[in-house]
Structure 1
C-alpha cells in the first residue's frame, strides 16, 4: 500500500471512527466532533457576513457602527482560532452526552419524526397552511395574495440550506444530531421546572453610574445634603438605559447583575444608599427601594430553570467519568471559508 493510500485511509476511514472523548461508556467520535466544529464555523462565517452587511448600511452612523465593529472583530478572532472553537465544541458535546444519558435514565426519547418536525419549525414551516380568500378593499381593489408556505416550498428551502451547509463540510447527519441534542436539552430543562421554586428573593433598586470614584462620592454628598436623586441621575449617570427614569432598575433576582453589584444590593437594607461600588462599568451609587421574596415572571422563571440545569450539568461534569483524548487538537478542522475585511 502506498503512503498516499495509507494516509487517505487514516484520514477518511480510521480517524473518523476514533473517539476524541469518552463520557462514561459513550464515545464522542472524531466524525461527530469535526462535523459540529464545521457547523459552528459555518454559523460564525454567516454571522460575520451578516454583520458586514449591516455595517455597510450603517456606514453613516459611527456610534452604532462601532458596536458592530466590535462584534465583527470578535467573530473574526474566533474564526482565526480553530482550537478555541474546537475546545468549545468538545465541551458542548460532553455536556450533551451527559444530558442524553440523564434523559435516558428518566425515560425520555426523541424520535426521528420529532427531529423532522423540529427542523421544519426551525426553517419556519409549521405544516400546510390554508390561505383565506383576499377581501376586496373599499374601492373594490383586492388586497395582495400572500404566497402560502407549502411543503414543496419548504423542501426547496431545505435543499438549498443543505447545499449551503454541504459546501462547508456540514452534512445532514450533523444537522440532525445537533437538533436532537437541542431537543434533549429542552426536555431535561422542562423536567427541571418542578424542581425550581416559583418565588425568588429580589431587590428593587435605582443607581447612578459615573466614571470616577471621587465623582460618586461628591454626588453622594449632594444627595445627603438634600438634592433630588432623580435630577442627579438624569444629569450625571452614564447608564443611558434608565438615567431619565432616575436610574430605576426595577425588581431583579440573583444572577442578573455583576458580582460586586449583586453582593452590595442583596446585603443592604431598604432605604440604604450603598456605594460607591466599583464594577467593570464604573462606580455606582445604589438606592435600595425594596427587598422581598416575589413570584417570578415567565421570563425570570425560565432563566431560573436554565440556571438550575446549568448547575446540574456543572455538577455532573465533576462526578462523571470523562476522558478527553490528547489527539483531539489534531482533529480540529480549519474553516473552509475564511473571513475577510
Structure 2
C-alpha cells in the first residue's frame, strides 16, 4: 500500500494536503518523460479519465456526471452564468469566497446574494430563491452542515443546490447525488497537486446549465474539436470540462488511487478522535470535526506553533488546525504543549 510522506507536526490539510510517496514518484516520472520529450497528450487524457472515474466512485456518482477542471471558482461561475437576471442566491455568512464571488460578480445583472447565518440556511430559502450555495464543511471553522434540511427547503421552492465538497471529500464520507451541482478542488484533503478540480451535475443541472467555458476538451471527440467553427459538445458532464493542467494529473491520479484504498469513514473517525483528544487536553468543548479552531486574534498562538515546528493556519481571527491520516497522538501533545506556553491563550469557543 502507498503511504503519505512524514506528516509529523503538519496540521494544515485544510490548506493543502501532503503527497503520498506514490504521488511523488508519479510526478517525478512525468518530469523525466517531459525531459526526454516523451510526454503524450493522449496519455494525459487517459489519466484524466482515470481520475474522473476514481472521483466519481468517491462521491457516489457515475463518471458521466463528473466534469474536470482546475479551480472551483471557475466551476461556480458556470452556475452563476446560468441564473436569470435578478435571481436570488442564498449563501451562509462567511463561506469561502470562491463559492460566493461568482454570484456577487453578477450584480450588474441584478443577481442578489443574500447571506444568512449558517444555522438559518434552510429557513432562509423562500419562494423566488433560485439557488442555495454552501460548503459541506466550512473552511474557516470546520463546521459540518446537515444537508437534508437545506435540500428539502430548496426542492420545496424549485431552487437549485450547489455544495462545495472541497473541505469534505477525502476525510468525510460524502454523497454528491442529492445535490444539483458539487464542486471540489482536490489539493486539500484529497492530497492531489493543485490544479485538479471536479464538479458533478444532476439531470436538472445538465438541462439548465450552459457550458459557457467550453473549449476543445468539452467536445464529444476532443481531438476532433481543436478547431472551429463547428461545435459538437459531449452529451454528458464532459461538456463542462476545461483543458486539463496536464502535469498535475499524474500526481492527482496516484493520490486518488490511494484515497480509494482507504475507508473514508475511518479517516473521519481518526481525525475527529484527535481533535476531540486535543479539546480534552486543553479543557475546551469537543467539536467532533476534522478541523478545529480557537480564538487567536493577534496570531500569537499560530506563531507559537510555528516556532515549535508545527504547521497550522489562521483564518478569521482564529487558529485553525486540521487532523488527517498522517497525524497521531504525538501531534496532539505537541500542539497542547506549545499552546500552554502562550500568554493569555484561552481555548474557549
How does the TM-score come out when normalised to structure 1?
A: 0.24
How does the TM-score come out when normalised to structure 2?
A: 0.24
Higher helix share: 1
Radius of gyration: which is bigger? 1
